[in-house]
Amino acid sequence: MTGSLTIAGIGPGDEAMVTPEVSAALATATDILGYAPYVARVPSRTGLALHPSDNRLELQRAGEALRLASEGRHVVVVSSGDPGVFAMASAVFEALEDSPQWQGLPIRVLPGVTAMLAAAARVGAPLGHDFCAINLSDNLKPWPTIEKRLRLAAEADRRGISLSELLAEYAEQGLRQSR
């Protein structure tokens, strides 16, 4: 196997927040796979195949990326933000567990700037102390699980800041959207 697989975070949307390491990986890739809006952020060029897919096809996308890399391609799977935070790195390693034929592939995970960190930087230092991150997407888990996590996080907040109210508001918005 002479190919490679890179799982890269392309940041929260602003080109300036894509790391130089990720930009270099994108510049040498033969194939880019990812959720269609994220793949659309990568400029096309000669010798580059773009493989956009639906957001709910993470394991299929990961399997395809492993297959292409095993065929000698230099594949980059793109995620918004950081690929290790509610994103594609876990899907690739999950697919790899079930596919011993690809265990020898060189795989790198390149960090990216998450929307949470970018937003926090814009408003000051809201993450300067204890905090938790809860994915509000119900693509891979039922809404009652998310709601329970929000309630438990709110119960753990002892600082008296409006975190509890914010989490309750998110929970209520999620309930309204899921109905």
Q: Which residues pair with 74 in a beta bridge?
A: 4
Strands (E), the chain: 4-9, 31-35, 49-53, 74-79, 107-110
Residues in contact with 149: Cβ distance below 8 Å, sequence separation at least 6, in sequence order: 134
Give the strands of the sheet with 74-79, arranged side by side. Answer: 49-53, 31-35, 74-79, 4-9, 107-110
Backbone angles phi, psi at 95, to 5 degrees: -65, -35
Q: What was the pLDDT predicted at 139? A: 77
Q: What was the pLDDT predicted at 160? A: 43
Residues in contact with 138: Cβ distance below 8 Å, sequence separation at least 6, in sequence order: 146, 174, 178
Phi/psi-derived region of residue 3, left when phi > 0, alpha when psi is between -120 and 50, beta in every other case: beta
Instruction: Fill in the DSSP letter of residue 124.
Output: S
Q: What is the pLDDT of residues 72-103, one digit of tens each?
A: 999 999 999 999 888 899 999 999 998 889 98
Q: What was the pLDDT predicted at 124? A: 82
pLDDT band at 157 (very low <50, low <70, confident <90, very high): low
Q: What is the pLDDT of residues 29-71, one digit of tens each?
A: 999 999 999 999 999 999 999 999 998 889 999 999 999 999 9
Residue 163 pLDDT more than 80? Answer: no
pLDDT band at 123 (very low <50, low <70, confident <90, very high): confident
pTM comes to: 0.80
Mean pLDDT of the chain: 86
Structural domains of the chain in order of their starting residue, each with its CATH number: 4-116 (3.40.1010.10), 129-178 (no CATH)
Q: What was the pLDDT predicted at 121? A: 85
